[in-house]
Chain A
Amino acid sequence: MTAAIRYLDARSALGSSLDECVDNLLAGHKPWRWQDFPALQEPLRLPYFALADSVADATRIYSHLHEMTAKAITAQGLDAAQRVRTGLFIGSSSYDVGVSEANYHQALEQQALDAGAPDPLPMGIVGYGKMAERLRAEFKLSPHCYSYSTACTSSANALLYAQRLIAAGLIDQALVIGIEFFNQTTLLGFHSLGLISPSQRLAPFAADRDGLVLGEACALVMLGRPDAAAPVQLELCGGAIATDNHSLTAAIADGSSLASVMTAALAETGVAAGDIKGIKAHGTASLMNDEAEAAALKQLFAGDLPAVFALKQFCGHTLGACGALELALAAGCLLRNRLPSNPGYQFDPALGVALNIQAGAAADGHYLFNCFAFGGNNNALVLRKTSRAEALQ
């Protein structure tokens, strides 16, 4: 059974609402800025897709999460009986580690001023599930309240299990949230791995791609029963997770493991490759990810590849939030009957996969969404778009 997408919201570098994010995405904006690290032994600046508010306030993660959840519940008019049948599914790769960093930094500064101050405690806040439990208790949601931590697939996995719990009848609705906020551990960790684009360009599948640019985001997708009155119906049909334990930080370059998760997603949803109208690529613009993803797409779709688009160049790679954020952004475009595109992209003949460069109409039918993660955790989801005229037939 599919789960209908009932409500969407997103906050990212593109904007503070889904509409603003989609407007800027369709206009081709790429609003990255410099993030400085002046305190390091070797001071550093890195490109970053930040939200409009200050990254210096680490605790804003809590207010964004709370505001978006409250707004969704209000917008959907969920009463007490409906809320207790509403599951909560959060995916993030870092949760509130930025708050731990801020507390630790502040404690170090206090100790420097006053030797009698309490010992600084690194990683002082632990518990992936704390934020979800706090929201569940406040809004009296279902006890089906889960937090996923599988790096970049965290919120994609949250979406998949939300759909599965709805299909199993265990809940009626699901609030699925992808959240990733600025923290130094993550940004400097990716820098150490040599994955940040030296040209500050995140150019997926392009001949001159040279790495990624990270970003922060909070995105919410509400799944539930279909709304028969909606002019365009979007449904999450299902998907699959598969494991590639070839390398901690890269998929097998021949694409076999990524092809297997896409194949499993199609099998799970009963959709043939030939029925896919468009593909949201994971497209990190790292050399090896794009190579493996391109190889997988060619294996699965042979010479009949549908339109492929990638979204990270507009909002950055938002890691654990990217599943929910990119689904919200793409869905926001599809609801406007627009297919996202990557204008200005330069085809890489070595990859042999061309991104969609023409803005155009989004056809009704099935769409494939890829998300891949460090640790070899790969996810593929299948979405269906139906316009009301077709739904009535």
Chain B
Amino acid sequence: MTILKKIKNNLFLIIVVFVYLAIFIMKPTLGIDSVKGSAYYLKEMLMIMPVIFVLTALLDLWVPKEKIMQFLGKDSKAKGALLSFVIGSVSAGPIYAAFPMCVMLLHKGASIRNIIIILSSWSVIKIPMLINEFKFLGAEFMIIRWVLTIIAILIFSWITDRIVKTKDLPKDKLLTKGLSINKNACIGCGICANTYPQAFEMQGQKAVLVESDPSSLDKDKIEEAVDACPVNAIEYQE
């Protein structure tokens, strides 16, 4: 990876580091307050993220693709939407905690619409927060807000599904006919790239597909690489 690309990929991180440096030089007290404020969110993150990662990996390995497609895929209709609302609203943690779970579900064939429902309800309709909302804003406020929010999510998840297609998602996360790598699962061991360098190469810590005409790939060698992968991150469908 070139240096320029590295900067581009980590632009946000670099900006935050620079702003902190600038603040610590100009107004150290403000900097200390910011770090203290961040500590709270750090704690919040540590309480939920490890368990989300483990749960996502377990679901990824134990729940077959067909089940996810059946319950959350394109043809799951109202039941799928309802399940998505339930998943989102019983969850805990900020919206980014939903990302690994949603990526895994997308990869296994959940529809974009249902993923949007999970992400949105994960952020604004939370059953764990019911008591809080009731306490601070009252029952009437809460009920009306929930009903309106659910209607809004139903509408805009449908719109998103019309605009965003599977081909717009990052390549390695697609459920495509052919070959794909589950980037979340890949541990960067490099076995696939050694087994079949015409199809796989290493980019940083992850394996990626070599751009090529799919018909030119040797089926036996691909299957060899699929079997060799220690974490079953490579998927192949004929």
Q: Are A and B interaction partners?
A: no
A residues apposed to B, CB below 8 Å: none
B residues apposed to A, CB below 8 Å: none
